[in-house]
Amino acid sequence: MADRKSFTDVARDRAPLWCRVSFLMCGDWALAEDIVQVTLVRLYKRWHRLDLDGVEAYARKVMARLVIDAARRPHRRGEVLTTPPDRPRRDASLEDGAEVEVRAALATLGPRQRAVLVLRFYCDLSVTETAAALRISEGTVKSQSARALATLRTLLSPGPATLNPAERVLP
């Protein structure tokens, strides 16, 4: 029972943060919540073998892989045949304008570049830790970070380049 209680405590405490991290990686709240649910299931299955200090790293690794997997296989997503339940809409005036711009710019990046940036700069992982979480080389982490940051700088720079990302025409 102690194991089940410790899992419940970790899941209750960490799930909201994991949802935010997952959302930053995929850009879709519904998908982010699904990814966290799958992550929690995988965590629960391996709970007896995990070190409590490694739970956070394991969860980030699972989430990053699920986000990239979901982006690669869009045919896996089911079609919603009913209307979603009513949810209160967040008041746009409560959000910081810069935060909205950054999220819109992040949405233009590919899934791997988004995952690299979120793990590196939002989760504050090192290049080595990010490479291990995504199962890619450190050089790939560095190059993906550089390319993604260059794209974000272009999209977020002042001037005519800050048009709606959907309206931008890339060469």
Amino acid at 59: A
Write the DSSP symbol of residue 94: G
Measured on CA atoms in the order 12, 125, 55, 66, is the torsion positive or negative? positive
Reading the block at residue 166, the tokens are 């959907």
End-to-end CA distance of the chain: 59
| Residue 165 backbone class (left: φ over 0; alpha: ψ -120 to 50; beta: rest) | alpha
How does pLDDT run across 113-164, given as a tens digit for each residue?
Answer: 999 999 998 888 899 999 998 999 999 999 999 999 999 888 888 765 445 5
- Per-residue pLDDT of 10-41, as tens digits, reads 999 999 999 999 998 888 888 899 999 999 99
